[in-house]
Homo-oligomer: A and B are copies of this chain.
Amino acid sequence: MARVSTPGEEMYALVERMYPLCRSITGDGVRATLDIVGEYIPLQRHEVPTGTRVLDWTVPQEWNIRDAYVADATGRRVVDFAASSLHVLGYSVPVQRTMPLSELRAHLHTLPEHPTWVPYRTSYYRPDWGFCLAQETLDALPDGDYEVRIDSTLADGHLSYAEHVVPGQVSDEVIVSSHVCHPSLANDNLAGIAVATYLARALAEGTPYYTYRFLFAPGTIGAITWLARNAERVERVRHGLVLACAGDSGQLTYKRSRRGDAGIDRVMQHVLGASGRPHRVTEFTPYGYDERQFCSPGFDLGVGSLSRTPYAGYPEYHTSADDLGFVSPEAMADTLAVCREAFAVLDRDRAYVNLSPYGEPQLGRRGLYDALGGRSDAKEAQMAMLWVLSLSDGEHGLLDVAERSGLPFATVAAAADALHGAGLIKA
């Protein structure tokens, strides 16, 4: 009997499909990646021309690459782009030369502390070329002349990104952003793209309160481009989450927004804490992924970042060891589950006003209270109603109620529904 695949397995399969592509901040690798994601969720695609001013930046030339290698005197390719997109310094200008190893070394990047791993390196804004390879490969190269060839183009073109929107009851938005510019690195950030994709599908199963916007764009320049082109929409962003490094075996790590106490910060801390999972909540730093842009002081959006092991926090980070074996269906499923729980709270958290605030309203007459008094085991649902009534002064939301009462958010939300249904509170 055919076994139905789990979301974790489906996300892993999506990662596998995207893995071989050579992505960068522009170029056909990004387009091919968005083509694949577009098979899972409908995408609105954008192509922004080279030279477009975006905030303090300018959209750069588009980079595409067909082939690259270092070949020894016998013509054997000792470093070959065909084997891994990591072998070429990202945004390398074209080159075709023969030079002695001694001269070539200045263009070769290795990780001496991990001699079998290939590092990931780029040079987006300073014209350069180079190759990344394992230290042990380099060590094995005899002196002598080598042919180096990078068949790339840097030319006017476009920066590509895509959006997917899950419409909500209000036009206020929650943005979820995943960078799509890294080449064959599974955790950074194919896992994040996969979790975002399946989160979008999950949200579309209902009609959420907020409108949820998923952004698939190259890091830094992509977020900056989106921010530059969506000045009005930015005004409507209430919350946001950057998903990165979402599939490794480490515990979940939530990094707060610059504000430190934004709605998403409180929700993620609550949900991670209430879930009983081992986890970390770290303070904002202006380094990392696209929270850097969303949280820049001019925007100062309530955007945090969810990772498992965060950037630069594992030795495999930005190396060939961040491969398909470094991520797992189970870890991605776990990240997705927490995102769903968190967005359920975020979406339902609202402040109510008690319409009968002088003394307690008589719940019993409305069928909301256990009729037999004197029992000390006040039921959780009734406690939740008393808490919602007590704190519904227009300033405390349901998450405040859950945190102050120690009751589960879902119980509190159900109590609010009951009280709202009885006309005792209004939103």
Contacts and interface: CB of A to CB of B under 8 A. Distances in A.
Contact of A55 (B121, B358, B383): B358
Given A297-B354, A359-B299, A373 B287 contact: no
Nearest to A369: B125
A398 B228 CA distance: 29
Contact of A374 (B120, B372, B374): B120
Contacts of A217: none
A296 B358 contact: yes
Interface string A382-400: 0100110111110000000
Interface string A201-224: 000000000000000000010011
A390 B252 CA distance: 25
A370 to B, nearest CB: 10
A210 to B, nearest CB: 23
Contacts of A228: 359
A255 interface: no
A129 interface: no
Nearest to A299: B358
Contacts of A57: 359, 362
A386 B220 CA distance: 14
Interface residues of A, number: 62
Contact of A359 (B227, B356, B404): B227
A89 to B, nearest CB: 8
Interface stretch (A43-51, A310-318, A341-349): A310-318
Nearest to A258: B390
Interface string A365-383: 1000001111111100001
A367 to B, nearest CB: 10
Given A56-B360, A128-B371, 20 more contacts: A90-B374, A121-B373, A121-B374, A121-B375, A122-B372, A122-B373, A122-B374, A123-B372, A123-B373, A126-B371, A220-B360, A224-B359, A285-B387, A286-B383, A286-B389, A287-B378, A287-B383, A297-B354, A318-B374, A318-B376
10 contacts: A121-B374, A122-B374, A223-B359, A286-B360, A292-B386, A297-B389, A297-B390, A297-B391, A311-B376, A317-B376
